Amino acid sequence: FESGVLAGVSVVITAGPTREAIDPVRYITNHSSGKMGYALAEAARDAGARVTLISGPVTLQPPERVKLVRVNSALDMLQAAESELEHCEIFIASAAVADYRPATVAEQKMKKSGDEMSIELVKNPDIVATVAAHTPHPFTVGFAAETQDVEHYARGKLASKNLDMIVANDVSRKDIGFNSDNNAATVYWPEGQQTFDTMNKHLLARELVAILASRFSAN
Ligand code: C5P
């Protein structure tokens, strides 16, 4: 992209997994590496944006010249996102937020007893949908990891979450996605779409920033 396409624009990005506590020593999480979100933070920064990266626990190096807000749970991530909203012009939700969390967090380490146990889970709030439900709301970009009917499900989420753009990828492909350094994606917005073939996540992040900058300024 041309440098400066996002000059002075405030961008907030969620990245990585969330961790949902069961007790003081245990949690539920997922395999998200945070690579795509961190690459987007660097690409947006290089395009001139003021970037806040709200990150779940990952092992990546914090990007330079980016404000990093570290969180653990989905509830913490939502609170961090809402407190950044006042100045946010573009919100990008790349985090793999846990859909459910334990209904209660045990205060003490849970002891083993019977051969079976169960943990009651309750639904987490949808962070990107909550952001997009604000009036006014930032230009809001979501991700959709799908294993089938990618366009159908991605366009469904674009509409149901009130997003301006969605980046969809096929996670049934073994060569790309989640923990990989590479990714391929199709970007959908209400009036169009564009496909990017498999490439390094840093290159893809730059392509995504270029297209979102052009959609953002057309808005
Ligand atoms: O509905 P699904 O989880 O597939 O939607 C994925 C998109 O929604 C991603 O952009 C993800 O960051 C966002 N999301 C969220 N909060 C949730 C669940 C998903 O922001 N609780």
Average pLDDT score over residue span 163-183: 85
- For residue 40, is pLDDT > 90? yes
Q: Domain extents for the chain?
A: 10-103+120-218
**Annotation says 30 is catalytic:** yes
Nearest to 178 by CA among 156, 149, 210, 201: 201
Nearest to 164 by CA among 130, 139, 138: 139
Instruction: Note whether 205 and 39 are within 8 A (CB).
Output: yes
Work out which ligand 1 atom sits closest to the CA atom of 145. Answer: 4
- The residue whose two tokens read 């010249």 is 65
The complex's ipTM works out to 0.98
Work out which ligand 1 atom sits closest to the CA atom of 94. Answer: 12
Q: Is 127 annotated as a binding residue?
A: yes
| CATH of 10-103+120-218 given 3.30.70.2660, 3.40.718.10, 3.40.50.10300, 3.40.190.10 | 3.40.50.10300
- For residue 1, is pLDDT > 70? no
The sign of the CA dihedral 86, 92, 97, 99 is positive
**What are the phi and psi torsion angles at 15 (to 5°)?**
-150, 160
CA 105 / ligand 1 centre spacing (Å): 23
Nearest to 77 by CA among 24, 126, 6, 5: 126
Pocket of ligand 1 contains residue 126 by CB under 6 Å: yes
**pLDDT score of 178:** 66
Confidence of residue 124 (pLDDT cuts 50, 70, 90): very high
